[in-house]
A and B are shown apart, each in its own frame.
Chain A
Amino acid sequence: MLEIKNLQAKVEDIQILNGINLTVNPGEVHAIMGPNGSGKSTLAQVLAGREEYEVTGGEVLYKGNDLLELEAEERACEGLFLAFQYPVEIPGVSNSYFLKAAVNAKRKYNGEDEIDAMEFLKLVKTKMKEVEMDEKFLHRAVNEGFSGGEKKRNEVFQMSVLEPQLALLDETDSGLDIDALKVVAEGVNRLRSPERSFVVVTHYQRLLDYIVPDFVHVLHKGKIVKSGDKELALELEAKGYSWIEESVGAA
């Protein structure tokens, strides 16, 4: 599904990613943990196609093709989805209009007809119920005036409508109370399938109680310094990130 080889990237002349290697197979859930400033969000943004981040070395293969060659919108149409750490407010564009444009853009890319209005409505209403979002959010402007939790729910809602093949979740747990966290995690778990992969970026272990990962990687100074299974996350939680710094420093 995804093969990252020695990926290096910088933003505004500051080198942030220093050679990331990561392979994600279909159906797998990978958690990427790390202290603030370790490069977690940069990795997510680079994979999604943010132009402000300049790739200075390495390569990324997605479904066997060069991902970095594709525009952000092409990546999305190819089934990549990024749930934002800070979802953007877009005044003047309603959630339903935005989502319909997204669904139809993807359909057009795949040579399909536009979605029927009734079919679309049925789809979004079902998915909204799943993430316990009130239907009134359909008519509100995208993320405008949403609480932190509502914004994150909206990301998971979009993800469930767009049904990506590879979903990147960038600190989707931050700012969520435990109930919202459960709803978001259930939304993700509902989508888990042998064909779909997830890369879950998080600072804290608690999300991983609900979204149980197959692999956990620790990012430090733009490199993956430790990989393991879900036990690694618990160990990190217990010992703190200083443990990593010490062990990396000692190595």
Chain B
Amino acid sequence: MSDLKNTPEIYLNNYKELTQRWSQNGGIWAQPLREEAMAKFNELGIPTQRHEEWKYTNLTAFKKHQFAPASPEAKNSVSPSDLAPFEFPNLDAYKLVFVDGFFSNELSEYADLEEGIELSSLYSLMHSQRSQEIESQIGKRAVFQNHPFVAMNTAFMSDGIYIRISKKAQIKKPLHLLFVSSAQSQDTMANSRVLIHAEAESKATVIEDYVSLKSSSTRFTNAVGEVSLEANAHLDHLKITREDESSYHIASLAISQEQDSNFNSHNVCLGGRLTRNDISAHLGGTNIECTLNGLVLGNGEQLIDNHTRIVHAEPHCNSFETYKNILAEKARGVFNGKIYVAQDAQKTDAMQSNQSLVLSDDAIMNTKPELEIYADDVRCTHGATIGQLDDDALFYLRTRGIPEDVAQKLLTIAFAREVIEQLPVEEVKETIEQFVYKKLQQDGAALVEVS
């Protein structure tokens, strides 16, 4: 390991320490994977803006932190009342709580689990006998060869969850995965992983929800998700990031779909100092539908960067993508949407749209659609707009007596609503809309009540 030189010292030391701990707890089978990933992380290093994929995302401030790996004991410091502010009113879901990436059975509520859901904590899986099933899922979709943070996650992954929806199971209640960053005296990082395996003809909804408890330290969440859908499976995936304004959140979600499956991703980015999502879907069969939607709301000095990639490998598949950004104050937004259509993927229908509302002179949006098409009988459309609120609409509202500041917020919410309305869980919509309202309200203006 003498060539470990790109990685900050702290990560190397922590990795060595963790390796010892894991080996004591019987975590043997994952070790070769970790070693490989750690070597790759070191080789790649923390990216700079010279890397094309990180062109607009400056990690200089991030690098100044020395993030220590989270401890599994942290979950004992969190009580159910700490989580109350993050409840979705009236939401009836199986709640699975993770503190700093570690699953907490005590804080979770998933009694009367419907037939067809199998849940296992990743910690228990990694510290038990090797299982072919888990090894066929882990590290196979979220590859770390060219992504330093996926490599870091793979080296450091300590816990997370494996969800299997069995064949033909139609799961009624959503699974609400609540990832909580706890209050710590030092800067900490959580490397969590979510594995979802939707078997043939199954249907389920998963909410990944990232929140933070009040703390003076800086928290870093490095999340990786790997999702596989078998033939005819349907999965709605809703991800919400609403951590505090000092948090870093870097995540990769990799999806592979088999024929006739339907995957819907709704990526709602509200909090954090820096948020980066890499979402990558591989459409590896015919007649697949894949939707990647996103809503970004940034203010203050937030940076929110979404990179998406859809690979059409086979004919007759549809993909839809709508990303909307709202940027106020000094916020920065990045959208990079890649659509790859392989030569065999005839009759592909791919639609991509990225619309951004830039509400202040200091806010910046960088958007880049990338289409790479090798088939000749396809329909691919993409559009990107960056603009301000519509003056005509503003005036129209004002002529009806609605004050200018309220009218601005009304129109901003309306802009976001196209994405909010498509969220798969009714009870979540209202809370998200309220959150957007509150955030827009931070500059002090009063708002009309939400009906």
Contacts and interface: CB of A to CB of B under 8 A. Distances in A.
Interface residues of A, number: 37
B401 to A, nearest CB: 4
A114 B400 contact: no
Interface string A84-103: 10011111110011111110
A109 B414 contact: no
Contacts of B410: 93, 98, 101
A91 B415 CA distance: 8
Nearest to B447: A101
A22 interface: no
A119 B376 CA distance: 59
Contacts of B401: 73, 76-77, 102, 105-106, 109, 162
Contacts of A71: 398, 404
Interface stretch (B70-78, B185-193, B388-396): B388-396
A8 B306 CA distance: 51
Given A73-B402, A87-B396, A88-B393, A105 B448 contact: yes
Interface in B373-401: 390-393, 395-401
Nearest to A107: B401
A162 B417 contact: no
A98 B411 CA distance: 11
B396 A88 contact: yes
A73 B415 CA distance: 22
B418 A91 contact: yes
Contacts of B392: 88
Nearest to B415: A92
A48 interface: yes
Given A92-B413, A92-B414, A114-B449, A73 B396 contact: no
Residue among A49, A51, A82, A93 having the largest count of chain B Cβ atoms under 10 Å: A93
A206 interface: no
Contacts of B406: 101, 105
B398 A76 contact: yes
B451 interface: yes
B26 interface: no
Say whether chain A's binding surface is mostly helix, strand, loop, or mixed: helix
Given A73-B398, A84-B396, A93-B410, A100 B451 contact: yes
Contacts, number: 87
A117 B411 CA distance: 22
A77 B411 CA distance: 20
A97 B410 CA distance: 10
B8 interface: no
Nearest to B407: A73
B300 interface: no
Residue among B390, B397, B406, B451 having the largest count of chain A Cβ atoms under 10 Å: B397
B417 A49 contact: no
A91 B400 contact: no
A97 B451 contact: yes
B214 to A, nearest CB: 33
B414 A90 contact: yes
Contacts of A162: 400-401
10 contacts: A72-B398, A76-B401, A84-B399, A90-B397, A90-B411, A91-B414, A96-B451, A99-B400, A105-B406, A105-B448
Interface of B: 390-393, 395-404, 406-407, 410-411, 413-418, 448-449, 451
Given A72-B399, A82-B399, 16 more contacts: A48-B399, A71-B398, A73-B403, A73-B404, A84-B396, A88-B393, A90-B397, A91-B418, A92-B416, A93-B410, A98-B397, A98-B400, A98-B410, A102-B402, A104-B448, A105-B448
